Structure 1
Amino acid sequence: MSRTWTRRAIRAGAALLLTAVAAGCSGGGEEERAAPEESPSASREAEESPSPSPSPSPSPTPVDPVSIQALIDREHEGSDLRLGEVLARTDAYTRYAITYRANGLTISGIMNVPEGEGPFPAVVLAHGYIDPDEYNTGQGLMREQDLLAREGYIALHTDYRNHAGSDEDPDSEVHLRLGYTEDTIGAVLALRSSGLPEVDGDRIGLLGRSMGGGVVYNTMVVAPGLVDAAVVFAPVSARPADNLRQFGYSSPRLPDGSAPDPNTAAVEAEHGTPEENPEFWEGANPLHQVDRVTEPLLIHHGTADDVCPPAWSEEVATAFEEAGKDVRRLTYEGEGHTFFSQWPDSMQATTDFFAENLR
């Protein structure tokens, strides 16, 4: 069943509660006594005394601009999807360089468009961490891009800001890369508003790997109803604090636990460590608002993944289940972070999942 996301959820007004207040008097078998008459002077004093001013309402706690709530509160925009150079032609699809606009930035990427008569359902792909200085457009998830297009899906792979031909965002790292979530939401909106006859804007899914899995979690919470289904492979933790401890922010920490990476040092200088400022770090954890999610999620994780521990996916699945959400977690015995021998099985489960939900 298709869904349409309206960019900003409509908040229903709360119903007015009417409370009747009754004045009670004590019984105990005693006769009622008449209230004493009020003296004229007392009456004048009451009239002349000013009414007490109402106590001011407490100010709402301001929303940290680097938080999931700030992303929820923002009106997201995605538009101006442009097909550029043809990068490759195969028997099954044509591969294009693309750009689109997302919240004021131009973001580059690639798009595989199947051969044949559309419109085709689409999948937006969110890649894992690759050093932006070494990244080339469309890099990451190459196998998935190819297979999805051969299965009849438009595959739009976003480069994210600061990657390839995308605009620069100098605050991206210190803002915990939450901008990648904006870029992914923008990709879906740009697809939907593109007017391209090949695109079925009512059937769009998400697929993310590793760091991109975290982007998918954020997107599902920030923009419920945006897509029809989501899949993640070997995802990072939904808790940014876990990822900071595991990876530093762009490179492994030193054996003594210190952060050699300047980006990590900048993040901790701005926001404090998770131990120093837990409220900030939990504010970037989407699981606190998982009740907002409306789409099904499929999680793939190998038991031998020593990069992103399988326990991270277990925690997410449990949170979704406790919130009554549709989540499926598939584990692959002996499979590591990259997926090799069981990758075909995982992709068969993925295309079956999309076929079931992108109707």
Structure 2
Amino acid sequence: MTVRRGVAAAGLLLVTACTGTDEGAGPDASSGPSSSATSSAAASSGTPPSTATPTPEPTPPPAEGPADLSRWFDAAFTGGDLQLGEVREQTSAYTSYDASYRSEGLLITGVLNVPAGEGPFPAVVLAHGYIDPAAYEQGQGMTRERGVLATDGFVAFHVDYRGHAGSDDDPALVETQRFGYAVDVLNAATALRETDLVAVDDERVAAFGRSMGGGAVLEALEMAPGHLDAGVLYASVSSNAADNFVQFNDGGGFWEQLVDLAGTPEENPGYYAAASTRTYVDRVTEPVLVVHGSADDTCPLPWAEATHAALQGAGVDATLDVYDGEGHAFGPQFPASMEAISAFLGEKLG
């Protein structure tokens, strides 16, 4: 079992819940590296396996309820048409552009950071955490992360998801349990590989998600084994859909509509098992780094420990990095966590 634990940090940041305005933002800069030592993580059992039959292509969900994760297994993720817009920022290390691409026919916006130099560069698709789509702004939520990655030599493509910023809306988002966000991640990887506008190494494309985005990255790894080359789950939501329901259900919006369609986990445990990434961890074929703070009360550490245990139990090359004292947003140990993430991606992408 591979588990690494960082030292405790003082002065934890206060963060909002995943149903708040920006569960993944935090400040754009922080300081204070930490050392690491070996520790052990508690294992947790997974949810019951699903009996749902996979289908080869995404199809509209049945009228009686939302789609489960298996609906997208081994579909063709043929996103493309990457377009670069205005320059947002230019440093000695990288240039940042407004960008867009196509995903299931939808226009998806985002921000693309391209390192200085000729390339080809390894690339990372960034999947942000929950931010109210009505308040979300293009490229919000992982500004720090994409800046560090581009400085370290990675093309960093922060996708806004469908229904966010300038992206097209998806009227079936609730019926499809927001799995469209993972589809957007996979199609962003396709768009990076197909473009001639940026020098991307087609054999080295990873995905990195925080909080809700961590869930989307794990969904993407399970939907399309081999489509990505590595995954990073940072302060991620649970791999058990019932955990997320209990933690984040505020009785309105998405959750109210989900209950209308599928009921609660108590009423319909089979559906929530079929919607859980933990059910399908044996589909993951790429190395995964799980990064979490021990003081995270938005997405508690036992969730990360259970996901890591499930991945390792399925034979996945999975590592858990725990940062003692860090909360959901990561503050003093953010630079150390990013140093470890860049090292992981550099090693696994080759």
Considering the TM-score relative to the shorter chain, is it more than 0.5?
yes
Alignment partner of 1:283 is 2:274: yes
Count of aligned positions: 290
1:204-283 matches, within 5 Å, as: 204-248=205-249, 253=250, 259=251, 261-283=252-274
Q: Equivalents in 2 of 1:292, 1:239: separation in Å?
A: 16
The root-mean-square deviation of aligned C-alpha atoms, in Å, is: 1.5
Percentage identity across aligned positions? 48
Shift of 1:62: 5.9
Query: Quick one: distance in 1 between partners of 2:298 and 2:187?
Result: 29
Report the counterpart of residue 301 of structure 1 in structure 2: 292
Separation (CA, whole Å) in 1 of partners of 2:53 and 2:316: 29
Residues 1:168 and 2:159 aligned together: no
User: 1: CA distance between counterparts of 2:81 and 2:244?
Assistant: 33
Q: Tell me the alpha carbon deviations over residues 101-139 of structure 1, each in whole angstroms, 9 at most, x when there is no partner.
A: 111111100100111121111110000000000001000
Listed as ranges, the gaps of 5+ residues in structure 2 are: 1-50, 56-60, 62-66
Query: Distance in 2 between the 1:177 and 1:210 partners?
Result: 14
* Contact 2:287–2:317 under 8 Å retained in 1: yes
SS of the residue corresponding to residue 173 of structure 2 reads coil
CA distance in 2, matches of 1:97, 1:166: 12
TM-score, normalising length from structure 2? 0.80
| SS of the residue 2:73 aligns to | helix
User: Could you say what secondary structure the match of 1:273 adopts?
Assistant: coil
- Could you say which residue in structure 2 is the equivalent of 1:193? 194
Measure the CA separation in 1 of the matches of 2:104 and 2:163.
14
Q: Mind listing any 5+ residue stretches in structure 1 that lack a counterpart?
A: 1-59, 254-258
Task: Report the Cα distance in structure 2 between the residues aligned to 1:158 and 1:61, rounded to whole angstroms.
Answer: 29
**Equivalent of 2:337, from 330, 336, 346?**
346
After TM superposition, the structure 1 stretch with the greater mean CA deviation from structure 2, 282-291 or 311-320, is 282-291
Does the 8 Å CA contact 2:75/2:224 hold for their aligned counterparts?
no
Shift of 1:68: 1.3
State how far apart, in whole Å, the 2-side matches of 1:215 and 1:116 are: 31
Aligned-partner Cα distance in 2 for 1:332–1:292: 28
Query: Deviation string for 1:233-266 (max 9, x for gaps)?
Result: 1100012221111011xxxx3xxxxx1x132111
Q: For the structure 1 residues 194 and 245, does the alpha-carbon distance in structure 2 shift closer, same or farther, using more than 3 Å as the test?
A: same
Give yes or no for contact 1:231–1:350 (8 Å, CA) kept in 2: yes
Distance 2:198 2:152 in 1: 18
1:333 aligns with 2:324: yes
Instruction: Provide the rounded CA distance (Å) in 2 between the counterparts of 1:265 and 1:321.
Output: 34
* Aligned CA distance change for structure 1 residues 61 and 127 (closer, same or farther; 3 Å): closer
Counterpart AA for 2:163: N
CA distance in 1 between counterparts of 2:210 and 2:173 reads: 19
Q: Which structure has the larger Rg over C-alpha atoms?
A: 1
User: What's the CA shift for 1:195?
Assistant: 2.5
